[in-house]
Amino acid sequence: MSDNTPTAILVHGAFADGSSWGRVIDRLRAEGVDAIAVSNPLRGLAHDGDYVAAVAGQVDGPVVLVGHSYGGPVITHAGAKAPNVKALVYVASFGIDTGESALGSVEPFPPVELGTSLAPQQFPDGEGTDTEFTIRRDAFPSVFAADLPAEFTATAAATQRPIAARALAEPLAVEPAWKTLPSWFAVATEDNAIHPDSQRAAAKRLGATTVEVRGSHAIAVSRPDEVAALVLAAVRAVA
């Protein structure tokens, strides 16, 4: 691709880390697209969004932001802050507007298994404590990655990164980037963490170019060809 080809910045969501993008990155690099997997702090929406915006803003040249799950709200915030962001790609994601939180956006839709599978724990926060969540290890395979082998889900459950409760409940405080930038959306049709109908509604609200991928919440791992193809479509559209 040309020297003006955007860099793809990949933002994981709750209960995951940057390694979840490994298979997608391999495919992007094979097509000549540079890609960076950001370590999402998972501490609060504005905090995380500002962090990702800072990473994007220090990339030389245009950027396409890619967000999985809670990473979707994060890129929605970050894309409004970093002027070199040219497109957004949502993967099995929440889609939120100003004043709305990730949790609030899914309330109108049927409950999913994730809702009964969270394990709260406390962490120090200044002089007090706050709550963060992981997925119970016994529930992790079916909630997060039902289409992946047991050896993968056992390791992923043991290495999952907790998310602060406030991050999922914090309303978006900026004008969402999708109102001014083109967007793409991969709906995971067998998702037990974010209801597929919620994803479809989010994609429609965003006016996103949408594909449906038959897979679990972890489609970046289980269906990397389809996810990478969607990211490539966005990169090529704005290159």
Q: Which has the higher per-residue pLDDT, 126 or 148?
A: 148
Residue 102 confidence (pLDDT): 98
Residue 126 confidence (pLDDT): 87
Residue 155 confidence (pLDDT): 97
The pLDDT tens digits for 28-87 are 999 999 999 999 999 999 999 999 999 999 999 999 999 999 999 999 999 999 999 999
- The residues, ordered by sequence, that sit 6+ positions from 227 with a Cβ below 8 Å of its Cβ are 24, 91, 186, 213, 219, 220
Average pLDDT of the segment spanning 151-156: 97
DSSP symbol at 172 = B
Task: Categorize the per-residue pLDDT at 150 as very low, low, confident or very high, splitting at 50, 70 and 90.
Answer: very high
Average pLDDT of the segment spanning 196-210: 98
The pLDDT tens digits for 107-116 are 999 999 999 9
Residue 157 has pLDDT above 80, yes or no: yes
User: What is the share, in percent, of the chain residues with pLDDT greater than 70?
Assistant: 99
Residue 15 has pLDDT above 70, yes or no: yes
In the structure, how many helices (H) and strands (E) does the chain have? 10, 9
Residue 1 confidence (pLDDT): 58
- The residues, ordered by sequence, that sit 6+ positions from 190 with a Cβ below 8 Å of its Cβ are 146, 147, 196, 214, 215, 216
Residue 2 has pLDDT above 90, yes or no: no
Q: Name the pairing type of β-strands 63-68 and 7-11.
A: parallel
Delimit the domains of the chain by residue range. Answer: 7-238
Given this structure, which CATH class describes domain 7-238? Answer: alpha beta
Average pLDDT of the residues of the chain = 97
User: What is the share, in percent, of the chain residues with pLDDT greater than 90?
Assistant: 97
pTM here is 0.97
Residue 4 has pLDDT above 90, yes or no: no
